Amino acid sequence: MNDNGGYLSRSQEFALAVTVAVVTANAYYIHPIIGEVARDFGVGEAQIGIVPALNQLALALGIFLLLPLGDRYSNKTLCLIFVTSQAIFMLGMALAKSFALFTLASTLLGFVTIAPYLIPAFASKRVAPERLGQVTASLTAGVIFGILVARVGAGVLAEEFGWRIVYWCAFALMAGVTLLLPITMRSEARQPKRPSGSYTALLKSVLTLAAQNRDMLISALIQGLNFATFTATWLALALHLTGPELGYGVDTVGYLAGIGAISILSTPRLGRLADKIGARTARISAAAIQLFGISLLYPCGFNVWMLLVPMVLVNLVGPTIDVTGRMTFLALEPEIRTRLTTTYIVFMFLGGALGSVLGTGIYDWAGWAGTCTLLIAMSGTVLVLSLFAQRRWSGSSSVNRA
């Protein structure tokens, strides 16, 4: 911490964003190489979807059971424990000799991937209120960068050296982050009031707070569907592009994932816009643009150059839906933010698990046309719920003004 009223310095904000990027990337290496992994282990397109689905379900369970501890114990200590555990399970994925062991390591990895969701709550307590949207967006940009590097790097490396090298490189990155984390997360100079009572009471309080904050629940549902759309899009797209009909390599999927770089530039700017016009208003605009982009996936889906159009649109605004959703509750009392974040992230990764199963399963059953129909339905629901939230809760707080 620095002496500027206990607020984070800009260098600390940047360091936290880098940390978030590295630890987030682990769940996304599978996206471009999912077909290669399936072929290596001798499993089908629908069966391979179990790997990211269980990872996301384990993440949701881990977040529910472990993330509330961030309102009671040192975020720095918790992050050290969980990041070290991530490194160990990443090594397990690199060494796995069977599909079952690979899936088990991936699932355990998901369970302990808590640090990327402790850090935003940690940071939200240490920034000026008028910079909440900007800093939240910067950390989200770190998430985007991690996803981008994971998907682009995995595709390129796997094409040249095989898919296992991806997980060896990921293990090296995790080992580096683990060693540097004590410096990246400095001591917390000012602590908010900690909730009292047993661990069971702490978990019950998560449910109680969720029931009392219905606006947050709608934001969580919106982000769950938004993340389901994202996950289903990329998993199905990897199978579609590397399948026999189109025959692209996994490196092509990785290069296409590079479009995500646009989000690194757009998300902080859109976060500042949300600070000015209101989180819910900005979310409606982002959801509408995303739906338009999703609707172009099928007509553009048979040429990698034409796919650039819908993917640019989707990546331009998709993360903003997450940023604006978090803004609807991260302006509330500091002592409840981590527990509210718990519910929000659980919904998000339940959506990710749903998207993993549907994205691969619907593609296996109905091909690219069926997948695109599914994506339009989910994205359309995101827009409808965003409109509902605007009408129901507009003007309930200054940060969420219309």
Mean confidence (pLDDT) of the chain: 85
Q: Which residues contact 310 (CB under 8 A, 6 or more apart)?
A: 293, 294, 295, 296, 297, 300
Q: CA–CA distance from 195 to each of 110, 117, 191, 206, 380 (Å)?
A: 26, 19, 12, 11, 39
Assess if residue 2 is contained within a domain: no
> Rounded distance, CA 96 to CA 88, Å?
12
The confidence score (pLDDT) of residue 94 equals 93
pLDDT, average across residues 89-93: 95
274 CA to centre of own chain? 20
The confidence score (pLDDT) of residue 138 equals 80
pLDDT in tens, 334-389: 777 778 888 998 999 899 899 989 998 999 889 999 999 999 999 999 999 999 98
Q: CA–CA distance from 61 to each of 54, 230, 354, 359 (Å)?
A: 10, 20, 14, 21
Higher pLDDT, 11 or 94: 94
Does 399 score more than 50 pLDDT? Answer: no
Assess if residue 5 is contained within a domain: no
- Helix (H) or strand (E) run with residue 290 in it: helix 279-295
Assess if residue 68 is contained within a domain: yes
- Using the Cα atoms of residue 338, residue 339, residue 343 and residue 346 in order, give the sign of their dihedral: positive
Q: Which amino acid is at 128?
A: A
Higher pLDDT, 51 or 201: 51
Assess if residue 193 is contained within a domain: no
pLDDT bin (cut points 50, 70, 90) of residue 277 is confident
Does 296 score more than 90 pLDDT? Answer: yes
pLDDT in tens, 125-162: 777 777 777 777 788 778 878 888 888 888 889 888 99
DSSP state letter for 27:
G
Whole domain around residue 288: which residue ranges?
10-183+199-400
Q: Contact at 8 Å (CB) between 354 and 377?
A: no
The confidence score (pLDDT) of residue 97 equals 93
Assess if residue 391 is contained within a domain: yes
DSSP string computed for 31-73: HHHHHHHHHHHT--HHHHTHHHHHHHHHHHHHHHHHGGGGGTS
Assess if residue 37 is contained within a domain: yes
| pTM higher than the cut 0.85 | no
Assess if residue 365 is contained within a domain: yes
From the CB of residue 105, how many other CB atoms can be counted at a distance below 10 Å?
22
**Total of domains in the chain:** 1
- Helix (H) or strand (E) run with residue 296 in it: none
Number of H helices, E strands in the chain: 17, 0
Structure-token match 């997360």, residue found: 185
The CATH number of the domain holding residue 339 is: 1.20.1250.20
Does 397 score more than 60 pLDDT? Answer: no
Higher pLDDT, 229 or 3: 229
**Residue 213 backbone zone (phi > 0: left; psi -120 to 50: alpha; other: beta):** beta
Assess if residue 281 is contained within a domain: yes
Q: Any long-range contacts for 37-42 (C-beta under 8 Å, 24+ apart)?
A: 37/102, 37/163, 40/163, 41/98, 41/99, 41/102, 42/99
216 half-sphere exposure, CB direction, 13 A CA radius = 24
The rounded percent of the chain whose pLDDT value lies above 70 is 92
pLDDT in tens, 305-333: 999 999 999 988 888 898 888 888 877 77
Structure tokens at 40: 């290596």
Higher pLDDT, 16 or 226: 226
